[in-house]
Structure 1
Amino acid sequence: MPGKILIVDDIPTNRILLRVRLMAAFYDVLQAATGAEAMEVITQQAPDLVLLSAGLRDCDSLELCRRITGFCESPDQSGARAAPSFLPDTAPAPPPVLLLSAQADHGLRLSALAAGAEDLLAFPRDDLLLQGRLRSLMRVGDSLQESHLRSGTSRALGFAEAPQEFVTPPRICILTDPTLHNPAWRHSLQAAPQGAVSQHDSRSFLRDVTADNAPDLCLLVLDRSLSSPGLRLLSELRAHPETRHAAVIVILPEPDNHMAADALDLGAGDVVAGLFDPAELDLRIASQIRRKRMADQLRSTLRDGMRAAVTDPLTGLYNRRYALPHLMRMAEHATRNGRRFAVMLADLDHFKRINDLYGHAAGDAVLVEVAQRLRANLRAVDLIARIGGEEFLIALPDTNKTEARVAARRLCRMISQDPIDVPGQDLAVTMTVSIGVAMGHRPQPQLSDPLPLIIERLLDRADRALYGAKACGRNQVTISNTAA
């Protein structure tokens, strides 16, 4: 099933008609005849979207819409909405709501948008636009649910919400074809947006857009006579790296359900057709900006999570989870290109006495400084990771034995030549490091050992070389002479 939709209408005929149309599009359909019944269904079955009649007799449909969406008149700077009070903390994100009315007049549409509805549609005689809206909202539903889930997980773990950063006004681009002249909609577009607004020729915009001036929202004006180029531009906005995450509202000076449905299917977040006023556009822009910032926050959370998963939090170096797969890719590349590479295991000498004499804070400061010195004396292409308490893995691609020996000795010298200051204590400690080196060779053609086994053997040789350096008095470099 492509999604689960709840129909809320106290007229059985309307529910039956909508149910038939939605099931023909393979949606899973739920039904409710009253507001109270709708609340129960939402709590128990978590629909992906709600089709709500604007004329319920048992309750105020707009108030019900506010309760379902958790909409508040003054959302926080992140644009997030509070979870409705009737939903438990573990419930999914509030579902989007589409209001349906026999006559979608302008005043009711403004009230619906202000109540948190995605749009107000006339009860569909032709369901082309309705189906386009449903597909568009289902597309963004997964990211909204994921954002809500991550927020709930943070609360469950007892993490405080991160302080909200200052949110700059959105950058809004009005994209029009210079041959279009319609003072009515042009005046409305320029009067409505709240933010940094600029107007561009739609035919040259993508050529000029950069990361520094990339928009948060594009208002794309289409016309029937220019439908093909306009819809093509919409596709290009979704493909261009600087605009693919921007919100897009398509402006149609005249109603056209076919073009509106096509625009929604091609990635537009909203469509405004026919006459509109600045107040309506303001509400639609605010909704799209909220959704865009929520998606930005989710992507940022994913990036931060991936970074945290592969990074040692103390030193900022990569950890074992990242280092071993990267080392395998390095070995595979060396095998394919007939190059050699070096693997080093570096271990601080007598590190335990730092913790014992000066405390763990001093030990942490030593580890951070050693990590910085190691990183500063390696190439950008080299790998360095902290894989144990005071043990570091270093891998140097395209490196022969002589170059590896010189690099390892340089690292020993850079660690030992300057004492390391201990914060909070008027002293500095001198550290040394022992390094074991193993060379990665191009495997013999007859050997067919799997790559993980080759890496395991390589690390074992580097480890035995490290023990050899410790046995020779520490602050030494030992190179394994075992054949690959």
Structure 2
Amino acid sequence: MSARILVVDDLAPNLHLFQAKLAAEYYDVLTARSGEEALKIAASERLDLILMDAMMPGMNGFEACAVLKGDPETWHIPVVMVTALEQTKDRIRGLEAGADDFITKPIDDFNMLTRVKSLLRLKMVTDQLLSHTGHTVGNSRPILQEINRKRGRVLMVHDQPRHIEKLVTALSEYHDVEVETDPVKAVRRAKGNFDAVVVSFVSNGFDGLRICASLRFNQESRETPILAIDDPENQARLMRAYDIGINDTVMRPVETQEFMARINSQLRRKFYADSLRENFNENLDMVVSDPLTGLGNRRFFERSTDPLIDALNSRGIPFSVIVFDIDHFKRVNDILGHDMGDHILREVSARLVTNMRAVDIVSRYGGEEFMVAMPNTTEAEAVAAADRIRALIAGTPIYVDGEALTITTSAGVSQVFKDEDMREALKRADAGLYRAKHAGRNCVFGSEQPKAA
């Protein structure tokens, strides 16, 4: 019930390995044994990400990627090139073909899942931008390319600037780069108009984790993408960094093309999100966004489910709704204050939207209540998805002022039925939420089927 990923490799053991690893993270995985087969699947299936082996007989991964990126209907799908080749020329060849990122064999699970999650977030924001502006995939490419050409402002935090001279030189060709060696000044400067921050975790003069925690605590830098530089053996530290809220990592020794691909992905996502906000501001009478979380609001949810109702009534395509509610949120607000309450709302929102499918409609319905509509999904499938998200939120602490805070949610689920008033389906979902609250919270309940007339 999560994102749909296509894995392309001519070797069956590699396909099975990828499929097992991604399915364990609840991704919907499709497979192809050749570049030609991958193109056919991409033309007929909705995909959120493609993992493409570079070296295959017949049409290789570079060639297949170039075709995908040249097709008006598939150019927007992120492609990660999987290769055993580490030469710079092969990285450049992948970039020229349009690849968004790289994974080198043998596959490291942590690195692979980091790449997947980062690019799925980019795909989600791209889909949101297209949806909100009313453009189709086919006619939107010039618009997004114009956004991609924007020069960003990047702050690089490292106490040994000479170690990153090569990266600064390469990045400065496309973006405005500033380097800061003092951690206190770095946190203060990041409150300015920066589009991304790169933080070294291998510096001797400061704790990179502490800098990232401060950036996420400050209102002015809370949404700024963070890319961390670290050594591959420090996975425990990197996992802690992701809990704090960094967006991506690059491992030493840092390869310039890889670094450029990673930072450009973060900048694109930032620029698309900025474009979304600008679009909202220019059309205040049509605003459908919650200003605190950036999610759609009640009006957005109601508008977005109209096509699902039409598809249900005309073609019998099912869909289900989920109501999430943060447990004991009033107590959190009373104890920690409304600023911290807002931080928790934003964090829960981010976890909801990054762990649902790109086609799912996620909205803040009001207060601490969130609504999700899941197209082509039965109630049983939606209950399973809701319970997975509930467990994820409860199992990953939210850091508030340096302290780990456990937040739980309860949820009610209901499938919408043909020719039914949407309000009735929402009432059943609310009833499921009520049962979850009275069962002790931090759980999910489906609804009772509507009685036959």
Given the alignment of the two structures, is residue 97 of structure 1 paired with residue 79 of structure 2, yes or no? yes
Given the alignment of the two structures, is residue 36 of structure 1 paired with residue 15 of structure 2, yes or no? no
Secondary structure at 2:221's aligned position in 1? coil
Given the alignment of the two structures, is residue 186 of structure 1 paired with residue 167 of structure 2, yes or no? no
Give the superposition deviation at 1:190.
3.1
- Out of 196, 202, 219, the position equivalent to 1:217 is 196
With over 3 angstroms needed to count, the CA separation of the structure-2 counterparts of 1:64 and 1:164, relative to structure 1, is: closer
With over 3 angstroms needed to count, the CA separation of the structure-2 counterparts of 1:165 and 1:67, relative to structure 1, is: closer
With over 3 angstroms needed to count, the CA separation of the structure-2 counterparts of 1:122 and 1:262, relative to structure 1, is: farther
Give the superposition deviation at 1:276.
3.5
Given the alignment of the two structures, is residue 119 of structure 1 paired with residue 101 of structure 2, yes or no? yes
With over 3 angstroms needed to count, the CA separation of the structure-2 counterparts of 1:24 and 1:156, relative to structure 1, is: closer
With over 3 angstroms needed to count, the CA separation of the structure-2 counterparts of 1:67 and 1:13, relative to structure 1, is: same
The equivalent of 1:138 in structure 2 is: 120
With over 3 angstroms needed to count, the CA separation of the structure-2 counterparts of 1:260 and 1:167, relative to structure 1, is: same
TM-score, normalised relative to structure 2:
0.54
Deviations 1:397-420 (A, max 9, x none): xxxxxxxxxxxxxxxxxxxxxxxx
The equivalent of 1:273 in structure 2 is: 251
Give the superposition deviation at 1:240.
2.9
With over 3 angstroms needed to count, the CA separation of the structure-2 counterparts of 1:237 and 1:65, relative to structure 1, is: farther
Q: Distance in 1 between matches of 2:148 and 2:19?
A: 45
Give the superposition deviation at 1:239.
4.2
Give the superposition deviation at 1:25.
1.8
Alpha-carbon contact 1:97-1:117 (below 8 Å) kept? yes
Q: Distance in 2 between matches of 1:249 and 1:163?
A: 23
Q: How many residues align?
A: 285
Amino acid paired to 1:118? D
Amino acid paired to 1:16? H
With over 3 angstroms needed to count, the CA separation of the structure-2 counterparts of 1:208 and 1:224, relative to structure 1, is: closer
TM-score, normalised relative to structure 1:
0.51
Secondary structure at 1:55's aligned position in 2? coil
Give the superposition deviation at 1:209.
4.3
Alpha-carbon contact 2:225-2:247 (below 8 Å) kept? yes
Q: Distance in 2 between matches of 1:166 and 1:23?
A: 32
Given the alignment of the two structures, is residue 202 of structure 1 paired with residue 183 of structure 2, yes or no? yes
The equivalent of 2:357 in structure 1 is: none
Alpha-carbon contact 2:125-2:269 (below 8 Å) kept? no
Deviations 1:367-417 (A, max 9, x none): xxxxxxxxxxxxxxxxxxxxxxxxxxxxxxxxxxxxxxxxxxxxxxxxxxx
Alpha-carbon contact 1:222-1:230 (below 8 Å) kept? yes
Consecutive unaligned residues in structure 2, runs of 5 or more: 289-298, 300-453
The equivalent of 1:25 in structure 2 is: 25
Alpha-carbon contact 1:124-1:130 (below 8 Å) kept? no
Q: Distance in 1 between matches of 2:161 and 2:279?
A: 43
Bigger radius of gyration, 1 or 2?
1
With over 3 angstroms needed to count, the CA separation of the structure-2 counterparts of 1:97 and 1:226, relative to structure 1, is: farther
* Deviating more after overlay: 16-25 vs 147-156: 147-156
Q: Quick one: percent identity of the two aligned structures? A: 27
Give the superposition deviation at 1:297.
0.8
Deviations 1:202-233 (A, max 9, x none): 333223444xx321121211118789x32343
Q: Distance in 2 between matches of 1:225 and 1:138?
A: 33
Q: Distance in 2 between matches of 1:252 and 1:270?
A: 11
Q: Distance in 2 between matches of 1:196 and 1:56?
A: 39
Q: Distance in 2 between matches of 1:4 and 1:28?
A: 5
With over 3 angstroms needed to count, the CA separation of the structure-2 counterparts of 1:262 and 1:139, relative to structure 1, is: farther
Q: Distance in 1 between matches of 2:118 and 2:146?
A: 29
With over 3 angstroms needed to count, the CA separation of the structure-2 counterparts of 1:52 and 1:165, relative to structure 1, is: closer
Give the superposition deviation at 1:129.
1.6
The equivalent of 1:110 in structure 2 is: 92
Amino acid paired to 1:113? L
Deviations 1:352-377 (A, max 9, x none): xxxxxxxxxxxxxxxxxxxxxxxxxx
Q: Distance in 1 between matches of 2:147 and 2:7?
A: 39
The equivalent of 1:290 in structure 2 is: 268
Give the superposition deviation at 1:243.
2.3
The equivalent of 1:304 in structure 2 is: 282
Alpha-carbon contact 1:2-1:26 (below 8 Å) kept? yes
Amino acid paired to 2:97? A
With over 3 angstroms needed to count, the CA separation of the structure-2 counterparts of 1:69 and 1:251, relative to structure 1, is: farther
Alpha-carbon contact 2:81-2:99 (below 8 Å) kept? yes
Secondary structure at 1:19's aligned position in 2? helix
The equivalent of 2:50 in structure 1 is: 50
Alpha-carbon contact 2:225-2:266 (below 8 Å) kept? yes
Deviations 1:267-300 (A, max 9, x none): 4444222233555544544443333212211222
Amino acid paired to 1:216? D
Q: Distance in 2 between matches of 1:103 and 1:46?
A: 29
Given the alignment of the two structures, is residue 236 of structure 1 paired with residue 217 of structure 2, yes or no? no
Q: Distance in 2 between matches of 1:188 and 1:215?
A: 21
Q: Distance in 2 between matches of 1:64 and 1:236?
A: 43
Deviations 1:142-184 (A, max 9, x none): 21111133445479999x97997997632221112x4xx473x
Question: How do 1:378-397 residues align onto structure 2 when only pairs under 5 Å count?
Answer: none
Give the superposition deviation at 1:9.
0.7
Alpha-carbon contact 1:129-1:261 (below 8 Å) kept? no
Alpha-carbon contact 1:136-1:267 (below 8 Å) kept? no
Q: Distance in 1 between matches of 2:43 and 2:190?
A: 45
Secondary structure at 2:21's aligned position in 1? helix
With over 3 angstroms needed to count, the CA separation of the structure-2 counterparts of 1:264 and 1:33, relative to structure 1, is: farther
With over 3 angstroms needed to count, the CA separation of the structure-2 counterparts of 1:6 and 1:259, relative to structure 1, is: farther
Given the alignment of the two structures, is residue 128 of structure 1 paired with residue 110 of structure 2, yes or no? yes
* Deviating more after overlay: 260-269 vs 143-152: 260-269
Consecutive unaligned residues in structure 1, runs of 5 or more: 71-83, 311-320, 322-484
Amino acid paired to 2:193? A
Q: Distance in 1 between matches of 2:187 and 2:30?
A: 43
Give the superposition deviation at 1:14.
0.8
Q: Distance in 2 between matches of 1:154 and 1:69?
A: 16
Q: CA RMSD in A?
A: 3.7
Give the superposition deviation at 1:105.
3.8
With over 3 angstroms needed to count, the CA separation of the structure-2 counterparts of 1:225 and 1:131, relative to structure 1, is: farther
Q: Distance in 2 between matches of 1:166 and 1:283?
A: 13
Alpha-carbon contact 2:6-2:32 (below 8 Å) kept? yes
Alpha-carbon contact 1:129-1:257 (below 8 Å) kept? no
